[in-house]
Structure 1
Amino acid sequence: MSVGRSAPDFEWRDGTTVGERLRRAKGILLDFDARAPLQALAGSWDDRIDYVDVDVKNRLGLNAVLLRPDGIVAWASDGKAEEEEAAQAASRWFGAPRSD
């Protein structure tokens, strides 16, 4: 899956799809391996990015994907997730992380 292209409409085991989740007009960080570092990263943008740890029917060889609200891939990982790269993509597309 290439950054800058439309994401496939991943389908959750319960039938929910990415398209349905994007209706909330927020980005989505899909974490197919439920890793704490990615959850923490998404928490810094939780007003703009929904973190979803989910098992989809076909992950297409990926373990994590960051989607913009328009369904375009902002970042994808097919190996060990690089949190720094994910954070850079989040900053590029969603602005500075929230400061509490």
Structure 2
Amino acid sequence: MSGLTAVTALAFGATLMAAPSASAVGSSACTENIKDATLPVVQWDHADMYTSPSFKSKVKKSVFAGNKVRVYCTAKHGSWYYGKFGKTKGWMEEHAFF
């Protein structure tokens, strides 16, 4: 039984290594990865970063206009972006950037 567990663990680890970069940042809601993008916040005076791609989710941080967010992927047909500002990772709606 332990041999099967080791094989399963190795297979799982190999799958993680081969997964797209969005998986590496911890978001299962991503539908499309973005390669090397940093976007400035342009919405009003600030935009909120949420725990999931929904206005009903918890706000993790407010990012003020002019600050740049490293984005990794999108969800819901590009209307939400998953990214990182400082040490905080979360979701921001597209109008924060465009």
Query: What band does the TM-score fall into relative to the shorter chain?
Result: under 0.3
Higher relative contact order (CA 8 A, sep 6+): 1
Higher radius of gyration, 1 or 2: 2
